[in-house]
Structure 1
Amino acid sequence: MDRQTPTLSDVARRAGVSYATADRVINNRGGVAEKSVRRVRAAIEDLGYVRNVAAANLAQKRTYRFAFVIPEGPNSFFRRLRNILETARPEMLVSRVALMVESVAAFDAAALVGCLERLAEDKVDGVALVGTDDARVCAAIDALRAQGMAVLTLVADVQGARPDGYVGIDNTIAGRTAGRLLLLAHGDRGGRVLPIVGVATAHDHAERLAGMQDTLAEAGGRVTSAPLIEGRDRHDIVEAELHRRLAEDPEITAIYSAGAGNAGLVRVLARRAEGRPIVVLHELVAHSRQALETGLVDVVIDQRPEDEIQTALECLRAMADRRDLAAPAPIVPAIYLRENLPPAAEASQFGDPVHE
C-alpha cells in the first residue's frame, strides 16, 4: 500500500505540539518557543512534509498583487500586451490574483524609476516590467528585490540589474532568424538591408540588429547592412526617415524593422509605384497583419505575448510563494507568412492600424 502524504496534523503529533503551534511554525508567524520550533522542523524533515502553499493561501484568503509596467504611447504591440492583461484580470481574480497595469512613457528612464518607487511603497507581491538599460532603473529593480518583491523583466532584459528572471524571446536568435530569412529571399543575389530600430541603445533592438548583421557577415558579405534608422517606435518618424532613405539609396533591397512604428513603414510601401524591398518586421498587430495579407511585407516575427504574460504570471506566483523556480525558458517566436496567418482576432487585441 502506498504511503500517504503527511499532513500538518501528522507533523503536530510527531512534534508533540498542538496543530495551531505547528501551523504558526510552518507559516513563520512567530510567537512559538524555540524548543517547539526545533521539534516541528525536525518532524517536517522526518516525515517529508511539504507545505501546500495554495491551500494555505486559500485558508488565509490571501490575494496576490502583481503589477505589470508597460510603455505607453502609439506602440500597437504594447497596447496588445495591455489588452491581454485587461482581458485576464477578471479570470485572475477568481484565483486570488489582482493585476495592476501601469503605463510609463517609452524610453523614459526617470518615469520608469518613479513608477517602480511607487510600487515599492505600495508593497506589491511582484512586478514584471518592460525595462530600459539605465543605471537608475537597475538600482530601482535591485531595491524592489531587496524588499523581498519578485521582479521579472519582460520583452527586453535589462543589463546591469539583477531581476529574478527574464520572460521573452532570445532577441539575438530572433535577429539571426531575420538575417537567415533575408539571405534566403535574396538567393544568390547581393543586396543591402536597411535596419530600423526604436533607439540603438535599447537592449532588445541592439541584440536583434547584431544577430541579423552577424548572420549576413557569416554568409560572406554578399548582402550588407546599411546605416540604421532610429524611429523611437513612432510611426511618423519611421515614415519620414524611411521615405528619405529609400529616395537617397536606390541600392536598398530589403528592410529589417527590429522595433515598432511599422504603420509608417507600411504607408511608405503602399505609396511606391514600383517594386518594393523585401521586408521582415516584428510583431503581429493590425497593420502588420494587413500588410502581410496584401503583400506589402514578407515576414512577421511575433514573440507570442499571450505566452509571455502566462509565463510571467506563473513565475511571479511561484516566487511570491517562495517556491524554487528554474529560469524561464525563452519564448519561441512564431514566424508568419501570408499563407500561415492565424485566424483574425478582434481588432482591440491587435491595436489600431491607423494611429500606431
Structure 2
Amino acid sequence: MTHRFPIKEIARQAGLGTATVDRVLNDRAHVSPQTRLRVTAAIEELKTQEAQLAARGRRLFFDFVVEAPSRFSREVKAAAEAILPQIGAAVCRPRFLLQEVMEEEEVVAALRRITKRGSQGVCLKVRDTAQIREAAKMLTVAKIPVVTLVTDIGVTDRLAYVGLDNAGAGRTAAYLISRVLGDVPGQVLATRSHERFLGEEERESAFIETLAVLQPELQIIAVQGGSGVDYETSKLLSKAIDGIHDLRAVYSMGGGNRSILSTLEDRGLRAEVFVAHDLDRENRELIFNQRLDFILHHDLQLDIKTAFNAFLAYHGLSSEQRATPVSTVQVLTPENIPP
C-alpha cells in the first residue's frame, strides 16, 4: 500500500519499527490497537508539520513523554503545535507519547527507546522515581537534553524545568482559602493525583505550612492517588472521606475535579470554597457554572516555548538566554476567564 509519507518517515515519527508500520498500513493481523493509534497519530502530526518542511534550517525531533489525564495532555499537544510556526531557527518535529497512567516500567522503557533511536530533546511530565531518574540520566549521557514540564525530577542532569512555581501555587491556595473562610474551624480536603509527582508534593508542602500559619484551626485531610482520572479518583476518594464531617474547603492539586465534586455531593458534602489547577476544558466548564471558585493557572504555551528555546540554545541555534524562570501563578475566577 502506498502512502503520501515514506514508511521510514512514519516510523521515525511514531517511534516504531518500519515492519510494524507496514503491518498497520496494510491492515495486517497481530497489531495492537495502541500501536495503530500511534501510527495514526504520527501521520496526523506529519500532515500538520508538512508545510514546515519547505522552510530553511535544520530539522530537529523533540519527544514529549507525558503522564497526565487526557484533558491536560490535549492542552500540552495543542500548546506545542501552536508554538511551532513561531520557531524560525529550525524545523521542529514533536513526537508525543501521552498516557493517562504510565507505570514506572513503561516510562523507563519509553526513555530507553528514545535513547536508542535518537532525539534532539525530550520533554518529560512523569513521576519522580529512582529508575526514572536513571533513565533520564541515560538520555543526558547520550547528549539528548531533557526538560521537565510542570513537575520536576530530583537529582538529574536535566537541562531545565519549565512550568508553574508549585510552592508559590500552594501558598496562594492557602491564602485564598483562609481569606474566604475567615477564622473558623473545620476540615480542608487536599487531593493529589499521585504521591510521586514532585510538583504536587511541593504544592502540598507549601499549602500545609502556609495554612497552618494563617488558619491553624483548619484540619487538612490529605488524599493521594487516582492519577487525576475520574473513575480512579472517585473510587479512592470514596474510601477516604468517611472521616470528613465538617468540610470547609477543597484544594485539588492533581485534577479529577468533576469526580471530586460528584463524590462529595453523593455524601452530602459541599465545600464553601474549591481551589483547582489548570484551565482545561473541564475546569473551564466547572468554573463557568460556579462549581469551582478559583483556578490556579499558568501560561502553558509560554512554558512550551521556553522548553523549545532551551533545546534550540543547547544545539547552538538560538542566542536567547538559557535561564528558564518558572511561571507565576494566575488566579482565575468566573469573572476573568480568558477566551
Q: TM-score, normalised by structure 1?
A: 0.72
Which position in structure 2 is the counterpart of 1:189? Answer: 184
AA paired with 2:229?
A: R
User: Structure 1 residues 318, 210: closer, same or farther in 2, change over 3 A?
Assistant: same
Cα RMSD (Å): 2.7
Residue of 219, 223, 247 corresponding to 1:224? 219
Question: Which SS does the other structure have where 2:98 is aligned?
Answer: strand
Alpha-carbon deviation of 1:269? 5.6
Alignment of 1:189-338 (within 5 A): 189-219=184-214, 221-243=216-238, 245-246=240-241, 248-268=243-263, 275-321=270-316, 325-338=321-334
Conserved? CA contact 2:70–2:100, under 8 Å? no
Distance between the aligned counterparts of 1:257 and 1:214, measured in 2?
A: 16
Alpha-carbon deviation of 1:175? 0.8
Alpha-carbon deviation of 1:284? 1.0
Conserved? CA contact 1:125–1:150, under 8 Å? yes
User: Structure 1 residues 210, 122: closer, same or farther in 2, change over 3 A?
Assistant: same
Alignment of 1:27-66 (within 5 A): 61-66=57-62
Conserved? CA contact 2:83–2:301, under 8 Å? no
Q: TM-score, normalised by structure 2?
A: 0.76
Q: Count the aligned residue pairs.
A: 285
Residue of 108, 112, 117 corresponding to 1:117? 112
Q: Which sections of structure 2, spanning at least 5 residues, go unmatched?
A: 1-53
Distance between the aligned counterparts of 1:307 and 1:59, measured in 2?
A: 23
Conserved? CA contact 1:172–1:207, under 8 Å? yes
Distance between the aligned counterparts of 1:93 and 1:166, measured in 2?
A: 23
Q: Which sections of structure 1, spanning at least 5 residues, go unmatched?
A: 1-57, 344-356
Alpha-carbon deviation of 1:203? 0.9
Distance between the aligned counterparts of 2:210 and 2:296, measured in 1?
A: 16
Residue of 67, 77, 80 corresponding to 1:82? 77
Conserved? CA contact 1:138–1:162, under 8 Å? no
Which position in structure 2 is the counterpart of 1:128? Answer: 123
Residue of 133, 137, 154 corresponding to 1:159? 154
Question: Which SS does the other structure have where 2:122 is aligned?
Answer: strand
Conserved? CA contact 2:223–2:240, under 8 Å? no
The answer to whether residue 95 in structure 2 is matched with residue 100 in structure 1 is yes
User: Structure 1 residues 120, 93: closer, same or farther in 2, change over 3 A?
Assistant: farther
AA paired with 2:152?
A: D
Distance between the aligned counterparts of 1:293 and 1:299, measured in 2?
A: 11
Higher-Rg structure is 1
Distance between the aligned counterparts of 2:77 and 2:258, measured in 1?
A: 19
Distance between the aligned counterparts of 2:247 and 2:224, measured in 1?
A: 13
Conserved? CA contact 2:193–2:226, under 8 Å? yes
Conserved? CA contact 2:188–2:251, under 8 Å? yes
AA paired with 1:132?
A: R
| Cα shift readout 1:108-135 (whole Å, capped 9, x = no counterpart) | 2211111111111222111111132112
Distance between the aligned counterparts of 2:84 and 2:55, measured in 1?
A: 22
Distance between the aligned counterparts of 2:55 and 2:264, measured in 1?
A: 59
AA paired with 1:266?
A: L
| Cα shift readout 1:136-178 (whole Å, capped 9, x = no counterpart) | 2111211211222221111111012120111111211111111
Which position in structure 2 is the counterpart of 1:37? Answer: none
